[in-house]
Amino acid sequence: MSEWLESAITRAQGINDWLAPKRAHALDLLAKTKWPTRKTEAWRYTPLRPVERTPAKVIRDKVDLSPVVIADLSAIEVVFVNGQFDQAQLAKTLPAGLSIALGADLNAAQQADALTAFSTIKPERHIFGLINDALAQDVVVVSVAEGVEITQPVRISSLLSLGAESHTRVQVVLAAGSKLTVIEDIQAQGDSLNTAFVEYNIAANARLEHYRFALQTGSNVAVGGSHFNLHDHAKMNSTIVGFGSELSRLDTDIIHAGEFADAKLNAMYLLDGKELFDLHATVEHAMPNGKTEENVRCIVADRSRAVFNGRIHIHRDAQKTLAELNNRNLLLSDKAEINTKPELEIYADDVKCAHGATVAQIDKQALYYLQTRGVSRSKAQVMLNFGFINELIDLMPNAALAEWIRPIIRERFAQMEVK
C-alpha cells in the first residue's frame, strides 16, 4: 500500500457525517484493495507515481476562485473551490423543478434517499472512486422533478489553487421525463490532485446532455469519473474533451438498466509534452433493446502517452442490443505512445456489435494535396489534425460550448510540436 493511500485512509477515518455508513464501507473495501501496479490490468499503462509523490495538500482557508466565463453560456453554477462547495456562487433562485443542495443541508427524508443512492452507480472496482467515497469533502445533490425540462445548463466546476488537494462528489437525479444539461469542468493551477466523481441516475424517458472538460495540464493529477444509469427509454449524449497532465485518468460507466435506452459518447483527447491521459469507458448492456454509439479520437504529440480502454459488456438478457465503438488515433511523434484496447464481452446472441480501432499518422496524400495548394506543411498538419477532432466538435449539441472550445483546441494544435 502506498504512503499516500495510508494517509488518505487515516484522514478519512476522522470524518463523521451523514455519509458515515458509506464511508465505512468504502474504507473496508480499500483495506482489501491492492495499490495498483503495472500488473493491475486497469492501470497497466498508467503508473501511479505522480499520486505517490504529489505535493498537494488539503487547503482549508478560503480562496477566491471563479470558473472561466464562456460567452453566450448562461449556466447555473455549482462551484467547488479546493473541494469545498461555494454556496455564494450558486444562484439564489433556481428554475422551478430544479434543486441543488449540499447533502448535509437536505431534510431527513431527502438525505435518506441521497444516502441510499450514494455510490450505487459508480462501480466498486475504481480504487480512486472508493477514495472519493471516503474523503469527499462536500457532496452536492442536483435533482430535476418529474417531467421538468431545464433549459439552462448546470455547470459543475472544480477549481483548485496551486498545490491543492480536492475530492468532490455530485449526485445528479433526473426524474422521469425530465431534461437537463450538465457541464463538468475542472480547472487547476498546478501541483494539485483531485478526484471528481459524478453519478447520474436517469429515470425513464429522461434526457441528459453531458459534457466533461478535463483541460487541466502540467503538474496536475486528476483521477475522476462520470457514471450513468439509464432506465427505460432514457437518453444521454455525452462529450468529453481532455488534455493530458502529469496524470489524468477518467472512468466512465454507462449502464443500460432499462430497455430501449440510448447512449452516445464522443470523446476526444489531445496530448502534448510528457502528458498522459487515460480514458476507461465501460458500457454495460443489462437489458434488451439498448443502443450505444461511441466515438473516441485521440492525438498524441511529443512524448505524451494516451491510453484508451473501451469495454462493451452485453449481458445474457440484453437481446437486440446495438453497440458500436469507433476509436481512431493519430500518432505525431516517434516518442509518443498510444495504447488502446477496445473490448467486447458478449453473452447474448441476437445483437449487433462492432468495434474498430486504428492507429496511424496524418494521411500523407491529404498533406500533399494541401501543400500543392500552397499551404505550408506545418499549417497543413495543423489543419488536418484539427479537422480530425473538429468532426466531433461539430456533433456537440450546445453551440455556445462548441464555439468556446474550438479556438482553445486550435491554439492547442498550434502549440503541439509536430515532427
For another protein, which is the closer residue by CB, 31 or 360?
360
Tell me the Ramachandran region of residue 55: left when phi exceeds 0, alpha when psi lies from -120 to 50, beta otherwise.
Answer: alpha
For another protein, which is the closer residue by CB, 179 or 274?
274
Kindly tell me which residue out of 343, 394, 411, 417 binds another protein, with binding defined by CB under 8 A. Answer: 343
For another protein, which is the closer residue by CB, 62 or 377?
377
Does residue 357 belong to the site contacting another protein (CB under 8 A)? yes
For another protein, which is the closer residue by CB, 115 or 357?
357
What is the rounded distance in angstroms from the CA atom of residue 305 to the CA atom of residue 331?
10
Alpha-carbon torsion 63, 95, 138, 249, what sign?
negative
- Shortest separation between residue 335's beta carbon and another protein, angstroms: 8
- Shortest separation between residue 244's beta carbon and another protein, angstroms: 16
- Shortest separation between residue 2's beta carbon and another protein, angstroms: 22
Q: Which of residues 359-378 bind another protein (CB under 8 A)?
A: 359-361
Kindly tell me which residue out of 347, 368, 399, 415 binds another protein, with binding defined by CB under 8 A. Answer: 347
What is the rounded distance in angstroms from the CA atom of residue 177 to the CA atom of residue 147?
4
For another protein, which is the closer residue by CB, 153 or 288?
288
Calculated CA dihedral for residues 65, 66, 69, 70, nearest 10 degrees: 120
Write the CA distances from 61 to 58, 83, 336, integer angstroms.
9, 11, 40
Does residue 383 belong to the site contacting another protein (CB under 8 A)? no
* Stretch near another protein under the rule CB under 8 A, chosen from 15-23, 72-80, 332-340, 384-392: 332-340
Please say whether the beta carbons of 386 and 409 come within 8 A. yes
Q: What does the DSSP assignment read for 126-161?
A: -HHHHHHHHH-S-EEEEEE-TT-B--SPEEEEEEE-
What is the rounded distance in angstroms from the CA atom of residue 175 to the CA atom of residue 203?
5
Q: Which of residues 311-330 bind another protein (CB under 8 A)?
A: 316, 319, 329
Kindly tell me which residue out of 52, 72, 345, 417 binds another protein, with binding defined by CB under 8 A. Answer: 345
Strand partners, 78: 156
* Stretch near another protein under the rule CB under 8 A, chosen from 29-37, 138-146, 352-360, 409-417: 352-360
Residue from 371, 382, 370 nearest 407 by CA: 382
Rg (CA), the chain: 21
- Shortest separation between residue 305's beta carbon and another protein, angstroms: 9
For another protein, which is the closer residue by CB, 193 or 331?
331
User: Checking DSSP bridges between strand 207-214 and strand 98-102, what pairing results, if any?
Assistant: unpaired
Does residue 351 belong to the site contacting another protein (CB under 8 A)? yes
Q: Which of residues 385-404 bind another protein (CB under 8 A)?
A: none
- Shortest separation between residue 273's beta carbon and another protein, angstroms: 16
Grid cell locating 144: 430535476
User: Checking DSSP bridges between strand 193-202 and strand 235-243, what pairing results, if any?
Assistant: unpaired
- Binding residues for another protein, rule CB under 8 A, total 36
Which residue type does 264 have? K
Q: Which of residues 24-83 bind another protein (CB under 8 A)?
A: 41
| Residues found near another protein in the complex (CB under 8 A) | 41, 316, 319, 329, 331-361, 419
